[in-house]
Structure 1
Amino acid sequence: MVLPGVRTGAGAAATKMVQMRCRVDGSERSQSPGPGTQRAAVYVHWPYCEKRCSYCKFNKYISRGVEEAAMRSCLVTEVQTLLQLSGVRRVESVFFGGGTPSLASPHTVAAVLEAVAQATYLPTHSEVTLEANPTSAPGSRLAAFRAAGVNRLSIGLQSLDDTELHMLERTHSASDALQTLAEARSLFPGRVSVDLMLGLPTQQVGPWLGQLQELLCHCDDHISLYQLSLERGTALFAQVQQGTLPAPDPELAAEMYQEGRAILREAGFRQYEVSNFARNGALSTHNWTYWQCGQYLGIGPGAHGRFMPQGAGRYIREARIQTLEPNNWMKEVMLFGHGTRKHTPLGELELLEEVLAMGLRTDVGITHQHWQQFEPQLTLWDVFGASKEVDMLLEQGLLLLDHRGLRCSWEGLAVLDSLLLTLLPRLQEAWQQRTSSSVPGR
C-alpha cells in the first residue's frame, strides 16, 4: 500500500512518472481562457517560525528580528501586482500558510485582505484560513485574527502524545493543543481543522488509534491525517540514519491509515480527499481549488502559484515560484513589484496530467464536464475506456468509470499512487496517438 506523504502533491511515484515521461508535444500552444480563468485562490506564505521542527523541510526561517512592517508592505505589493497580472476578478479563498502565520500580527493579515478586496472582488463569505500552532495562538490572539477577517483555522496539532511531540520538536504539549482547540472552536465554530500525523518512528497502531479516538472527543468538523515523510536534511532523518531512532514501518503506517479512515467514516466524516476528512459540509474551499486545478496565486517567499498571465493575446497557464529567502524576496518586490523567481509555461499534456493526478485525490474524482474544460476533444472514455490495464482496475473495484466520470473507490483512494502508475502512461499514450493522427502525412 502506498500512502501520501506529509502535504505532498499526488505522491512521489506519480510525480516521478510525470517528470520522467517522454515529452510528446513540446510546443506551447495558445490555450483559450476557458471557464474560471477570472477566478482564483490566493495563498500567502509567512516564512517565519519560533523553531524548526525535526521533520520539517519547508521554506521556513527562525523569527529573530523580523521587520514585519517591511514584510507586510511587500506582501501587499506582491498581491496587488499578481492580481493585476493575472486578470483575476474574483478571489474565492485566501489561505495564510507557513511557516507559522499565527506569529504574524493580525494587522498584517488585515492589510493583505484589504489589498485583495481593493484589487478584486472578495465576497464576504469567502473562506479565509490561517494556519496556527498552539503556542502561538492563545484565545485573545485568535479573537484578533477573527476581527482581522480570518474565518477558518488550521491547527498544527500533529500528536496528542507528549513523547511524540518532543521527538518532533514541537513547541507545545498535548494539553496546550487541546486548550487551543477548545478556544478556537468557541471563536470559529464548525470551521476549525486539525492535523494528526501517523507513521512516526516507534509509533504503534493501538496507541495512535487511541489518540484519534481522543481527538474525536474534542475536535471540530475537519481532520487531516498525514503520514510522516522522512526528508533528507532534517534532524529526524539524521536520527534515523544514525540509528538513534528506528525507521518508520510502512506496513504499520498503512494499517494506521486504514483503521483511522474507517473510524472517521463511522464518526460521520466524509473522506473527500486522500488525507482530508470533513463532516457537516466543512470541506476546505481553498484546498479544493488545488485538487480541481483551479488558478491560485502564490504570495510571499517561496510561494507557488498556477495562473494565466494576461496579455499579448496568449493564455497559457504558468507554474510560478517566488524567491525563497525572505530578504532577497523583499528586495525583488521593492524593485519589480513581485518576487517571482521562476515561471514555467505548462504544456497541454502537462496540464492534463495535473488534472488527472490531482482530481483523483478527491472522492468526486474527475467529472466529464470538468475534464472537458481542459480537454474538449479527448474524452475520458477515449483515454481510459479501451485500456486492458484500466479494465483490470475497474474489475478489482479500485477505480470507477461511468456516466459521472473517473474516480477512485473507497479502496482505491488508499492506493492512489499505484493507480497513477497505470493511468498516467495511458493518458500519455492516448495523447501521442491523437497528436500523431492530427499531423498531416502521418
Structure 2
Amino acid sequence: MITHMFRKASCFSPGLRRFSGLKVTEHVPESPASPRLTEQASLYVHWPYCLRRCTYCNFNKYVSKENNEDIMAKCLQRETETLLQLSQVSCITSVFFGGGTPSLAHPSTIAKILETVSKQVNLSDEAEVTLEVNPTPVGMSKLKDYHHVGVNRFSIGVQSLQDKDLKSLGRDHNSLDALQTLAEARKLCPGGVSVDIMFGRPNQTTDLWSRELSEMLRVCDDHVSLYQLTLERGTQLFKQVQSGQVTMPTEEITAEMYQCARTTLQQHGFQQYEVSNFAKNNSESRHNLSYWTGKQYIGVGPGAHGRFVPLGEGGVTREARTQTLEPDVWIREVRQRGHGTRRRIQLGHLELLEEVLVMGMRMTKGINHKHWELFSPELSLLEIFGGSLAVQELLQSGLLILDDRGLRCSWDGLALLDSMLPVLLVELDRIFFPKTGS
C-alpha cells in the first residue's frame, strides 16, 4: 500500500494534448463549459495560519507573528467574490474551511465569507458547510458561535488519543481536550461531525492501533477519516527518523493497520465509501464527494487549488488553478487585482479524463458508466479498458472489477490502488496516442 492515496490529490502535469487516432462515434464530446458541468461548484477556503507547526507537517501553513485577521478576512472575501464572478456559477453546493487551523479565525470572519458567497450566488440552507477544528479549549469555546453563523459540519483533528503520541507529533491538544471538543461538536451538529485519526505513528503496533481505534469509535460521530503518517523532507519528524531518534512502522505493518481499521470500522457499522473515508447514517462528506466525482471546485486563500471553467473571461476549458502560497504575497496580489492566482493550466480532454479516473477510482463504488459518459461520450470504459491485457490480469486477479455497473476496485484492490492506477493511466494514454509501426 502506497501512502499518497491518503493525501489530497495534486495537480496533474500541464500541457494540452492533441486528441487523435481514435475511432469514435458521431456523438460530440460534452464540452467542459457545458451548463451541466459549470452551473455548480464547491468552494474551498484556506486559512493559512497555525499557532505552531506539527513535527510531521509540510502543508502550506504559517505561524503568524502578528494579528492580521482583519486584513486576511477582507482579502478572503474579495478573492471569493472575484473567483465566483469569474466562474459564473449559479450555485455553491458546499463550503469547506481548511488550513492551517481555521478554528483560529474569529466566527465573524467565517460569517463574512459565507455572506459574500450568498450575495454572489445561491447558497442554500441545506448546503454543507464544514470547518476544520483543532480540538483545543480555545477551539471548543468557539464551536457554538461557528454553528450560529452557518457551519453545520465539523471536522475534528483528533489524530490520536495517546497523549504521548500527541506530544511527539507536536499537537497542541491532549486526549481530554479532544474528547471534550468532540462531545460539544456532537451536541451542536449530531451526525455532522467527522474525526481525523492518524495511523503509522512512531513505535505504533497493529495491536495498539486496534485498541485505540475501538476506543475512538465508542465516542465518535458518524464519519471517520483515516490518515497514514508520512515522512516529509524538511520536517522535524523526518530529521528525527534520519538521526535514529525515532522509529517508524514498516510498510508491511502500516498495511496491516489499514486493513485492521477497515475491518474494525465495518464491525462498528461504518461503510467505507472512499480510500480513507468511512461513514454511517448517510453522513458522507458531500464536499469531498464533489472532488472525487470530477465536479467543479473553487479554491480561495493562500495555496488553495481549484478546477473550474473561467466563463467570466470567455473560457471554454476547465482550468487547474493554484493560488499564491505565501500569505503576505497573496494579500498584496489580492489587493492589487482582486485575486492571488499564481498558476493557471488549461486541462485538455485527456487531462480531464485522467483526473476523473484517478479521483473516481478512490471511491468504493468506482466510476459508473453514466458518470464516465458525461466526460467521455465517445469512448466507454469498456472500449478503453476492456481489451487491455494488463487490465485483464487485474480483473482475473480479483483486484479490479469491470462490469455492467462500471469500473471499481474490489475490497482487496482498494488497498493496492496506487499500484493499479499507472496501468489504467497507460491504457487511457494509449487510446489517445496509439503507437504506430510494428
Alignment correspondent of 2:244: 243
4+ residue segments displaced more than 6 Å: none
Amino acid in structure 1 at the alignment position of 2:9:
G
**Does residue 33 of the first structure (1) align with residue 33 of the second (2)?**
yes
Counterpart secondary structure, 2:220:
coil
Q: CA deviation at 1:136?
A: 5.5
Counterpart secondary structure, 1:134:
coil
Check the 8 A contact 1:38/1:89 in 2, yes or no.
yes
Alignment correspondent of 1:213: 214
Amino acid in structure 2 at the alignment position of 1:175:
L
Counterpart secondary structure, 1:55:
coil
Alignment correspondent of 1:274: 275
Check the 8 A contact 2:87/2:312 in 1, yes or no.
no
- Cα distance in 2 for residues equivalent to 1:98 and 1:191: 19
1:208-266 Cα deviation digits (max 9, x unpaired): 11110000110000001111111101100111111111233111100000011011011
Q: CA deviation at 1:36?
A: 2.7
Q: CA deviation at 1:63?
A: 3.1
- Cα distance in 1 for residues equivalent to 2:158 and 2:191: 17
Q: CA deviation at 1:5?
A: 5.2
- Cα distance in 2 for residues equivalent to 1:250 and 1:237: 16
**Does residue 381 of the first structure (1) align with residue 386 of the second (2)?**
no
**Does residue 59 of the first structure (1) align with residue 88 of the second (2)?**
no
Check the 8 A contact 1:6/1:229 in 2, yes or no.
no
1:3-50 Cα deviation digits (max 9, x unpaired): 44552328xxxx8xx659x985389x9945232311000000000001
| Alignment map for 1:42-441 (pairs within 5 Å) | 42-135=43-136, 137-311=138-312, 313-433=314-434
Amino acid in structure 1 at the alignment position of 2:57:
C
Counterpart secondary structure, 1:315:
coil
Amino acid in structure 2 at the alignment position of 1:150:
V
Amino acid in structure 2 at the alignment position of 1:276:
N
Q: CA deviation at 1:173?
A: 0.7
Alignment correspondent of 2:26: none
- Cα distance in 2 for residues equivalent to 1:359 and 1:386: 21
Q: CA deviation at 1:180?
A: 0.8
Q: CA RMSD in A?
A: 2.0
Q: CA deviation at 1:328?
A: 1.1
Check the 8 A contact 1:38/1:88 in 2, yes or no.
yes
- Cα distance in 2 for residues equivalent to 1:267 and 1:169: 30
1:132-168 Cα deviation digits (max 9, x unpaired): 0111655441000001110000010001111111110
1:175-214 Cα deviation digits (max 9, x unpaired): 1111111111111111000111111121111111111000
Check the 8 A contact 2:3/2:230 in 1, yes or no.
no
Counterpart secondary structure, 2:212:
helix
Runs (5+) with no aligned partner, structure 1: 437-442
Counterpart secondary structure, 2:282:
coil
Taking a change above 3 Å as real, the CA distance of residues 74 and 139 of structure 1, as seen in their structure-2 partners, is same
Amino acid in structure 1 at the alignment position of 2:8:
T
Taking a change above 3 Å as real, the CA distance of residues 32 and 271 of structure 1, as seen in their structure-2 partners, is closer
Check the 8 A contact 1:5/1:229 in 2, yes or no.
no
Q: CA deviation at 1:55?
A: 0.5
Residue identity over aligned pairs, in percent, reads 53
Check the 8 A contact 1:352/1:375 in 2, yes or no.
yes
- Cα distance in 2 for residues equivalent to 1:345 and 1:193: 34
Q: CA deviation at 1:312?
A: 6.0
Q: CA deviation at 1:423?
A: 0.8
1:69-88 Cα deviation digits (max 9, x unpaired): 11111111100000000011
Check the 8 A contact 1:78/1:338 in 2, yes or no.
yes
- Cα distance in 1 for residues equivalent to 2:16 and 2:421: 18
Amino acid in structure 1 at the alignment position of 2:276:
S
Taking a change above 3 Å as real, the CA distance of residues 5 and 31 of structure 1, as seen in their structure-2 partners, is closer
- How many residues are treated as equivalent by the alignment? 427
Check the 8 A contact 2:81/2:120 in 1, yes or no.
yes
- Cα distance in 1 for residues equivalent to 2:350 and 2:137: 43
Amino acid in structure 1 at the alignment position of 2:322:
I
1:381-418 Cα deviation digits (max 9, x unpaired): 11001111111111111111111111111111111001
Counterpart secondary structure, 2:157:
strand
Amino acid in structure 1 at the alignment position of 2:212:
Q
Counterpart secondary structure, 1:36:
helix
Alignment correspondent of 1:7: 7
Q: CA deviation at 1:311?
A: 4.8
Query: Which TM-score applies when normalising by structure 1?
Result: 0.93
Counterpart secondary structure, 1:433:
coil
Check the 8 A contact 2:133/2:139 in 1, yes or no.
no
Alignment correspondent of 2:25: none
Check the 8 A contact 1:161/1:174 in 2, yes or no.
yes
Check the 8 A contact 1:55/1:236 in 2, yes or no.
yes
Counterpart secondary structure, 1:429:
helix
Taking a change above 3 Å as real, the CA distance of residues 5 and 64 of structure 1, as seen in their structure-2 partners, is farther
1:291-347 Cα deviation digits (max 9, x unpaired): 111111100111111110015654111111111111111111111010101111111
Amino acid in structure 1 at the alignment position of 2:378:
Q
Amino acid in structure 1 at the alignment position of 2:413:
G
Amino acid in structure 2 at the alignment position of 1:52:
R
Taking a change above 3 Å as real, the CA distance of residues 280 and 376 of structure 1, as seen in their structure-2 partners, is same
- Cα distance in 1 for residues equivalent to 2:186 and 2:414: 30
Check the 8 A contact 2:136/2:173 in 1, yes or no.
yes
